[in-house]
Chain A
């Protein structure tokens, strides 16, 4: 059995490559929050309270455009709706944990932490300390997000766009998802979700992502049930 400490450090190791993409993202958020006129404290508090990169970006844009508060709240919450799917997908693995663990893990549940953690859960036969992996990945991402947004806010530091470090994010997701595809149903589910996401990208509030995910899931499940697996 892998120890708690080993799982925690495995989680940190798992999230490390993603940080390459998160760091410039955080810096740019900080810079744009300041140039949108947000007070320093509020700009950083957003990283602390909301802790969701894409929603924070959209909020800053909407605030600077003078959009009514109700619309901003609605937009941000719809953008974050995908986390309900992450939560459902992780739920079977964390059921046996005490309440305080669940409350802590929910706070650090982001796209990035979800991606590395769920793949780890699905590949690991261990049931003992896998939540320490989740915590290691989640806390590391949280720290890097706080530090990088603070740096962007205070120093206004910016990474040249031509470095394209944001590309590290989709690349890490490619590296995680491709090896996890084994059956025909899984490949078709993945391809369907990807194609629908491209076609539905024009939908408002990031709904294309949800539509694509549900279509891919339905496709995979349908094929699996039909094959009698």
Chain B
């Protein structure tokens, strides 16, 4: 019973958070500076999700060759920058990771 109550509470709050600005804000209420700031949300949040997954292992900075993820990630970033091709970026990144893992004997 407690479990179900907890699920419903967390679900309701999560939904309220997601609906918050979409549901409440009107565009005419938003100052130009805020709109400008909001354009930076994806540019900031995506690297903030990506980089820890590349450079951290068990919450420790792992910049050695023993951590293939940052190397594969950097390769993928170069491909993304040069080609702007989503599928090619993912393919190069995955293959790079597998090759490096194989070379490291994992």
User: Could you list which residues of chain A lie within 8 angstroms of chain B, going by C-beta atoms?
Assistant: 17, 20, 38-39, 42, 45-46, 49-52, 55, 59, 63, 69, 72-73, 76-77, 80-92, 94-95, 99, 102-103, 105-107, 109, 111, 114-115, 118-119, 122, 162, 164, 167-181, 186, 189-198, 201-202, 208-209, 212-217, 220-221, 224-225
Q: How large is the interface on B (under 10, 10 to 19, 20 to 34, 35 or more residues)?
A: 35 or more
Task: Report the separation of the CA atoms of residues A104 and B1 in the bound assembly, to the nearest whole angstrom.
Answer: 28
User: Could you list which residues of chain B lie within 8 angstroms of chain A, going by C-beta atoms?
Assistant: 2-11, 13-15, 17-23, 25-27, 30, 33, 35-56, 59, 61, 69, 72-73, 76-77, 80-81, 84-87, 89-90, 93-94, 97-98, 101, 106
11 contacts between A and B (CB under 8 A): A45-B7, A55-B10, A76-B14, A84-B17, A88-B20, A122-B42, A168-B90, A174-B50, A181-B43, A198-B61, A217-B44
Q: How many A-B residue pairs have CB under 8 A?
A: 249
Distance of A12 from chain B, by nearest CB (Å): 14
Distance of B106 from chain A, by nearest CB (Å): 7
Residues of chain A with a CB closer than 8 A to B54's CB: 170
